[in-house]
Structure 1
């Protein structure tokens, strides 16, 4: 994806805020806002932001799981199933 077409100065955002928001919601492509010629912010629609946050959360869980595996903090499937069955029978 090329972001070069989605680079706008802050003055454009100020003058066209409603249009910018509509475009973000429709196209779901981030917009880079510049100030004094430097990139200062990235605007995204809410749905894209939420999807990104969910993806980051899943990646964090995977990283934590990999860390546990590397540290040897693992259990066999048989042990896990036995533990679950034991908890179920105790709850009944």
Structure 2
């Protein structure tokens, strides 16, 4: 994905907001908005935003899990399964 084609000044956004929103939903690529020649914001369609948030949440869970493993705070799977069976969660 090339962001150079997805860079627009804020004046373009103001003049073409509806078109920009349709394009975002169709292309599912973020749009960089500039002000006075400097990148100031990135906008994206809601589906892409939600997908990004879900991905970040999963990555955070993985990172926390890795920290637990590195710290030695782990329980063997056989022990966990035994506990769950004792509570009748697994048959």
Matched ranges for 1:1-92 at <5 A: 1-88=1-88
Q: In the aligned structure 2, how far is the partner of 1:36 from the partner of 1:87? A: 63
Structure 1 residue 11: Cα displacement: 0.4
Q: TM-score, normalised by structure 1?
A: 0.94
In the alignment, the residues of structure 2 paired with residue 36 and residue 77 of structure 1 have an alpha-carbon distance, to the nearest angstrom, of 57
Question: Residue 88 of structure 1: CA displacement?
Answer: 1.5
Deviation of 1:78 (Å): 1.1
Q: Distance in 2 between matches of 1:87 and 1:63?
A: 29
- Provide TM-score, normalisation by structure 2: 0.95
1:81 Cα deviation after fit: 0.7
Q: CA deviation at 1:36?
A: 0.6
Gaps in structure 2 of 5+ consecutive residues: none
